[in-house]
Amino acid sequence: MMLRKMKLFFMNLPIRGKLLVLFLFASVIPLLFVSFYSYTVTERQLVRQTHENMNTMNAQINNNIENRLETYKQISSLLYMDTTLKEYLAQTYDKSIEFVEAYDYINDLLYGVMAANADIEAITLYPYNETIPSDGLFVKHIDEELKSQSWYEKLSKSYGDAIYSIVNSDKANFTLARLLNNHRLQYPYGILTIDIKENVLYSLYEKETLNKDIYIVNSDGIILSAKNKEQIAKPLSSLIGSGPWENGSVGTFETDIDGEQSLIVYNSMKFGWKTVSVVPLGFVLSDVRQETNRMLLMSGLSVVLAVVLIFLTSRYFSNRFLTLYRYIRKVENEDFIFDTQGWGRDEIGQFAEAFHVMRHRLNELINEVYKKEILKKEAELYALQSQINPHFLYNTLSIISSLAIRNQDPEVGRVVSHLSNFYKTSLNKGKKNILVQKELDITRHYIAIQQMRFESLFRVHWQIDESLYPYPTLKLMLQPFVENAINHAIWDDNQTLNIIIRLYREGDGMIFEVVDDGAGMTAEQAGNALQSHMDAGYGIRNVHERIQLAYGPGYGVELFSRRGIGTQVRIKLPLNMGSPPPSGES
């Protein structure tokens, strides 16, 4: 229903409106689709490329940090392997003068290391030997504050390996801690810590922080280094929320940060740290959105210009069609005096030229109409004369029927009565169309006559949809197939032939069927039946051709048969040949 309304609406639109609608569907909608598709694909590719670039950047930052931390680990290894330092820290001192030599060695050693590595904030030794007093600079005793550090408990399980942790102080530093172990005696004798300036890490990725945030976090998710120094020592989850970065080693995901969609890429280092990069998607897509807006603006201007051109062009063609329409209305009113020259050689001009020729031809035909009227009157007179023979036949058959009844021969009277009704109905005053009910009456009269001839050799079974009675159909369309069944399907005088005649609706058409259980035909005979010019097939071919000439190739006769099984004839006719007449009208 909706499709029909849309089709009707489009058909009723003027040409100008049709062109605009076609332009909308042919240009504007595809343009919007292509723009949207291009933006979506470009956005997806840009996000993927940004992810790849950030992943590569993170990997490079990780590599730089690992190399730098390896330097500090090597420094700690030099101190760890220093046997003189080990002896000084493990020796028991009874007098204060005895550890002056140890202080001198430690000061010279550690000052030299710090002088060579300016980014080291402090180096501290925490000996388990309580006989060594603290100097407040390089040698300190283990106190409760030290034990409260997050790395202290981990140190006992490190077996001499270096561990890294943030320093709980106001300084933006992180620390490398290492348990000093006496391999010969197999017991630890102290703790070494190296405090490193956070700027050492930040300098390794500072150039990459433009328009993005980069965080270096430890295995607990605590920020060790960031562009905003106030964020150091805070959990990263408080800034970007929880996500796969907490447990994953490498990956990317999108999340909402302070109301802005952001792309997050994270990569892990070999000792548990991670580099987490955060970039707003708005920044990533800003260029493509600007280009898309510019493209849409240019496309919009092009559409407006095209609409104006289509409007002007359609008005030009519409005016030409309206002029032709006025000329057609003049011809409709039998006014042939006007000029249709000078229309050009395009399609409309050719149409105008053809209309000009048609106008002259119509004028000539109208002048010839009087001659044809005379011929028509003569044809009507001939048709009137041709009715004499059918009326004479009706009257003669009626006289024979009356004489048979008067002479007490009712069977002959019935035969003649059926024959009279058969011809009276079939001739139908010369008309080619007849009501379905009348067509069935013709067939019934014919069957009644044949049953008197063949007696009990065949039986007819009727399956009729009587609601189809008022519809028109072609005359003598059903009877030839019944005749063919009676004449050719009876193959055994001891076997009664059954004939089924059906009439029913199918879609927007109606179907007549004649089915018999007689001799049947071979496949070749059935295929040739509709093409045969012999007497046995002429009636079938004639009906099929009449139906197709009247209603088109979608209608006609279908024949199905099997030798020894029987034959089915299927006749398809349209229901829209005309509305059924009022009740009682024939």
The rounded distance, in Å, linking the Cα atoms of 512 and 501 is 7
Nearest to 217, CA basis, from 204, 207, 231: 231
What does the pLDDT profile of the chain (586 residues) look like in tens digits? 777 777 677 677 677 677 777 767 776 677 677 777 776 777 777 777 877 888 888 888 889 988 888 888 888 888 888 888 888 888 888 776 777 888 889 899 999 998 888 888 889 899 888 888 888 788 888 888 888 877 777 777 777 677 877 755 556 578 888 888 866 556 788 889 888 888 888 888 888 877 788 898 888 888 888 888 888 888 888 888 888 888 888 888 888 888 888 888 999 888 788 899 888 877 767 666 666 677 777 777 777 787 777 777 777 777 777 777 777 777 777 676 666 666 667 777 777 677 677 777 777 777 676 455 545 444 443 443 444 445 445 555 665 666 566 666 666 666 666 666 666 665 555 566 889 998 999 899 888 888 887 777 889 999 999 999 999 988 888 988 898 888 887 777 778 889 999 999 999 899 999 999 988 888 888 777 777 655 455 567 778 888 888 888 889 999 998 888 899 999 999 986 554 544 434 3
**Contact at 8 Å (CB) between 422 and 393?**
no
337, exposed or middle or buried, with CB in 10 Å at 0-12, 13-18, 19+?
exposed
Nearest to 163, CA basis, from 245, 272, 276, 71: 272
CA distance to 84, 129, 552, per residue, from 464 (Å): 123, 120, 25
CATH topology for 46-282 is Beta-Lactamase (3.30.450)
451, exposed or middle or buried, with CB in 10 Å at 0-12, 13-18, 19+?
middle
Type of residue numbered 522: T
Q: Are strands 260-268 and 250-257 parallel, antiparallel or unpaired?
A: antiparallel
Backbone Cα Rg of the chain: 54
Q: What are phi and psi of 226, to 5 degrees?
A: -160, 165
| pLDDT, position 509 | 92
Nearest to 531, CA basis, from 542, 516, 546: 542
Strand partners, 177: 163, 193
The rounded distance, in Å, linking the Cα atoms of 269 and 263 is 20
| Owner of token pair 């005649």 | 501
Q: Are strands 213-217 and 223-225 parallel, antiparallel or unpaired?
A: antiparallel
Helix extents (H) in 433-494: 436-454, 479-489
Q: What are phi and psi of 293, to 5 degrees?
A: -65, -40
| Owner of token pair 């300036």 | 197
Residue 132: both structure tokens together: 């060594």
Q: For residue 117, give the 3-state DSSP assignment.
A: coil
**Contact at 8 Å (CB) between 240 and 265?**
no
The rounded distance, in Å, linking the Cα atoms of 487 and 523 is 19
Task: Count the helices and strands in the chain (H runs, E runs).
Answer: 17, 16
The rounded distance, in Å, linking the Cα atoms of 182 and 83 is 9
Q: What are phi and psi of 510, to 5 degrees?
A: -130, 150
Checking phi first, is residue 508 left (phi over 0); if not, alpha (psi -120 to 50) or beta? alpha
86, exposed or middle or buried, with CB in 10 Å at 0-12, 13-18, 19+?
buried
Long-range Cβ contact pairs of 243-251 (< 8 A, separation 24 or more): 245/274, 245/276, 246/221, 250/55
Strand partners, 213: 278
| pLDDT, position 503 | 95
CA distance to 214, 251, 483, per residue, from 57 (Å): 10, 13, 95
The CATH code that applies to domain 431-574 is 3.30.565.10
* Cα torsion through 388, 394, 400, 401, rounded to 10: -170
| pLDDT, position 516 | 92
| Cα dihedral sign, 568-569-573-579 | negative
Nearest to 353, CA basis, from 340, 364, 363, 366: 340
Q: For residue 140, give the 3-state DSSP assignment.
A: coil
| pLDDT, position 374 | 45
Q: Are strands 458-464 and 497-506 parallel, antiparallel or unpaired?
A: parallel
CA angle (468 as vertex; 463, 472 as ends), nearest 5: 125
